[in-house]
Amino acid sequence: MDITHILTSPWFRILAILLGGLVVTWLTNLFSRRIIRATMRQIPIASQRDDKEREQRIRMLSRVFSQLALTLVGAIVLLLVLGELDIDLGPLIAGFGIAGVAVGFGAQSLVKDFFNGMFIILEDQFAVGDVIEAKEVTGRVESFTLRRTVLRDLDGVQHHIPNSQITIVSNHTKDFSAVHFYVVVDVQEDYNKIKSMIDAIGERMATEKEFADDVIEVPRVQGVKDVDAKALTISILGKTKPEAHWAFKREMKRRVQDAFRREKVEAPHARSKQQQITIAEADGADVL
């Protein structure tokens, strides 16, 4: 059989097209992860994550790019094969175009979900295990895909949020957490005495076995936040490792209250009827 005839036959060209598509797909899978890994290492924020978590993100992005490449290569291979079979591609391409427009309108939110998910990964906005606030929901990130984020709040309720709806995200456990609260006492109290008491409590707790490994900056009095004719509002601030601030803050507030009771530190209205010291969160007051 004439080798020239074989090489120029439509079936040989179809075979070559299929093999070429497989090679392109294989090369895309081979180099996509390397390119994404090199890109993420150039992003200072993303490089702060540990190796296991960064590899998980790289695999996720690589899988997405591989699927996109496979879809694109598959479509091109299909059109080339149909062309070799002498099938009129004009009506087919027109039909695909109409279908693509219809699908595009219907999948706009889905496309937005995927793009937002990619930016969340590249910008390292949050990761599985972080405690975040998104779409007026605060909870721990249980799972994350390019399409949606799953949060579990303190009541155990699971929330599924499409990534396209996450326009503002607040990460409570990124890099470090803050121990921040206010103490409100009577305006006649000695500020220096109270500052010494609170600072001593923070320094003592920072050396205890339960908290020593978690403290980054010892919580201390930062100064007077507010003062009026009746009350003195004092700000306390420190840093811990992510998530360690809740336990530290609860225990420190308890010890501050005990110390105030021992030293008979008076609340703003103690000279009338109320006998409570107000210890407030940084974003609101909780009367203990």
Residues 144 and 164 in one domain: yes
Which are the contacts of 142, defined by CB distance < 8 A and separation ≥ 6? 128, 150, 151, 152, 158
What share of the chain has pLDDT > 90, as a percent? 36
Among the listed ranges 114-128, 188-202, 253-267, which one has the minimum average pLDDT value?
114-128
Higher pLDDT, 101 or 178: 178
The pLDDT value given to residue 34:
75
Domain range holding 152? 125-171
Tell me if 111 is assigned to some domain: no
Tell me if 8 is assigned to some domain: yes
The pLDDT value given to residue 131:
92
Higher pLDDT, 36 or 277: 36
Neighbours of 131 (CB within 10 A): 22
Residue 274 has pLDDT above 70, yes or no: no
Q: What would the pLDDT profile of 152-165 be if each residue is shown by its tens digit?
A: 998 999 999 999 99
Cβ–Cβ < 8 Å for 271, 186: yes
Residues 246 and 203 in one domain: yes
Summarize the confidence of residues 74-90 as an average pLDDT. Answer: 78
Report the domain count for the chain: 3
Q: What would the pLDDT profile of 98-155 be if each residue is shown by its tens digit?
A: 666 666 666 677 888 888 988 888 788 888 888 999 988 999 999 888 889 999 998 9
Residues 181 and 283 in one domain: yes
Tell me if 119 is assigned to some domain: no
Confidence grade of residue 248 (pLDDT, cut at 50, 70, 90): very high
Tell me if 98 is assigned to some domain: yes
Residue 1 has pLDDT above 60, yes or no: no
Task: Name the domain boundary from 71, 106, 141.
Answer: 106
Residues 191 and 210 in one domain: yes
Residue 48 has pLDDT above 80, yes or no: no
Summarize the confidence of residues 42-68 as an average pLDDT. Answer: 65
The pLDDT value given to residue 150:
94
Measured CA distances, 206 to 197, 198, 217, 251, 254 (Å): 14, 12, 9, 12, 15
Among the listed ranges 7-11, 30-34, 198-202, 242-246, which one has the minimum average pLDDT value?
7-11
Measured CA distances, 80 to 18, 69, 98, 251, 284 (Å): 9, 16, 20, 70, 66
Residues 278 and 187 in one domain: yes
Summarize the confidence of residues 41-56 as an average pLDDT. Answer: 59
Residue 270 has pLDDT above 60, yes or no: no
Q: What would the pLDDT profile of 16-25 be if each residue is shown by its tens digit?
A: 888 888 888 8
The pLDDT value given to residue 104:
64
Tell me if 113 is assigned to some domain: no
Cβ–Cβ < 8 Å for 47, 40: yes
* Distance spanning both ends of the chain, measured CA to CA: 96
Tell me if 73 is assigned to some domain: yes
Confidence grade of residue 96 (pLDDT, cut at 50, 70, 90): low
Largest separation between any pair of C-alpha atoms in the chain: 112
Residues 204 and 276 in one domain: yes
Residues 84 and 148 in one domain: no
DSSP the chain: --HHHHHTSHHHHHHHHHHHHHHHHHHHHHHHHHHHHHHHHTSTTGGGS-HHHHHHHHHHHHHHHHHHHHHHHHHHHHHHHHHHTT--HHHHHHHHHHHHHHHHHHTHHHHHHHHHHHHHHHTT---TT-EEEETTEEEEEEEE-SSEEEEE-TTS-EEEEEGGG-S-EEETTSS-EEEEEEEEEETTS-HHHHHHHHHHHHHHHHHSTTTGGGEEEEEEEEEEEEE-SSEEEEEEEEEESTTTHHHHHHHHHHHHHHHHHHTTPPPTTTTSS----EEEETTEEEE-
